[in-house]
Amino acid sequence: MEDDTMLKQLPMMSDIAYAALFLPSDLSAKITDVTINVTAGTTDGLNY
């Protein structure tokens, strides 16, 4: 399944946690109306 992603690895729970922590931080102050997909580059979704 990892070979199906652009990064050749599946996202880990920590990757999703980092994205969730980024959103309420000051670093995301100028980001509006954006969907952040933590998918390791796959375009057809992850089913695991």
pLDDT for residue 26: 95
The pLDDT of residue 41 = 73
Q: What pLDDT sits at residue 38?
A: 83
This prediction's pTM: 0.63
The pLDDT score that the predictor gives to residue 17 is 93
Residue pLDDT, tens place only, 19-39: 999 999 999 999 889 888 887
The rounded distance, in Å, linking the Cα atoms of 31 and 23 is 9
For residues 38 and 48, what is the distance between their CA atoms, to the nearest angstrom?
A: 14
pLDDT exceeds 80 at position 45: no
